[in-house]
Amino acid sequence: MGQLIDGKAVSKEIKTSVASEVEELKKSGITPGLAVVLVGSDPASRTYVTNKEKDCASVGIYSEEYALPETTSQKELLDLVHTLNAKKTIHGILVQLPLPKGLEEEEVIQTIHPLKDVDAFHPENVGRIMIGNCRFLPCTPAGIMELIHHEGISAEGKRCVVVGRSNIVGKPMAMLLLHENGTVTICHSKTKDLKKICLEADILVAAVGRPKFITADMVKPGAVVIDVGMDRDENGKLCGDVDFSEVQHVASRITPVPGGVGPMTRAMLLKNTITAAKIQNGIPVL
């Protein structure tokens, strides 16, 4: 039976170290600040934003929330981003995605100052991820790498399969695994022989957004299985992209949902906010 990878416990360790870094920065008169922008009333996005603010408070990071109505125009949103770009007390800006229909996500992302882009979604930061010279690591993929390392696992020389090709998770995840000398395959909805490719994976990352999509017959015995999904099953119960109850018997290690990748994503945002505060104050980032 696969061993659980406890993202909650690992994220706690990271938060403890972030809290002591915040304390150090405060001694130099710097309070890291994060602005979180939520447009519309999507309940999942609302929960994510509330959690991000709670996380900030728990480690001493200052946060501001901007909850804008569904009817917000592109110009109003861009004006807010410009204001936050110029605001000295704010080092990181996060605009919760997806935005309501009618708003241009790409333009909003490109308007965030690259040094305040704690999601690492701005094309400049995405380019840096490609090159392997990141200032901010994208939160979910970075959290997954931390989890893997914490387990004493390296991607070097391993067959890594990422199922899902989103800009937020799939693509940057593949890059981080590649930078660690993994042999990486990205699969998606048009992939032929998906099962065959997944069965080759030593490290399998599921980021498709479909409940229990990865079944036990798609997993090589002993593989490390990372579940990025936050889905609902047929009974409305929270579940991941992996059929956990079956796959846990095949994998050597597996992340649960909840309590796996999610808490790590949140912890990495805090880390990025500190990095942003350091960069903007000319403090070397280790």
- Which stretches of the chain bind ligand GUN, using CB under 6 A? 94-97, 119, 139, 168
- The catalytically annotated residue of 96, 117, 212, 220 is 96
55 a catalytic residue: no
15, amino acid identity: K
- The catalytically annotated residue of 15, 55, 117, 119 is 119
Q: Minimum CB separation from ligand GUN for residue 230, in Å?
A: 9
Based on CB atoms, which residue is closest to ligand GUN, 194 or 274?
A: 274
Q: Nearest to residue 218, comparing CAs of 191, 250, 183?
A: 250
Based on CB atoms, which residue is closest to ligand GUN, 32 or 138?
A: 138
52 a catalytic residue: yes
Residue nearest to ligand GUN as judged by C-beta position: 97
Q: Minimum CB separation from ligand GUN for residue 49, in Å?
A: 9
At which residue do the structure tokens 């036990």 appear? 216
- 186 forms beta bridges with 162
119 a catalytic residue: yes
Q: Minimum CB separation from ligand GUN for residue 122, in Å?
A: 11
Q: Minimum CB separation from ligand GUN for residue 145, in Å?
A: 15
Based on CB atoms, which residue is closest to ligand GUN, 213 or 248?
A: 213
Phi, psi angles (nearest 5°) of residue 254? -155, 145
Distances, alpha carbon 127 to alpha carbons 130, 133, 137, 244, 253, in Å: 5, 9, 12, 34, 32
- The catalytically annotated residue of 15, 52, 171, 212 is 52
CA dihedral 173, 176, 180, 181 (to 10 degrees): 60
β-pairing, 238-239 vs 231-232, is antiparallel
| Residues marked as catalytic | 52, 96, 119
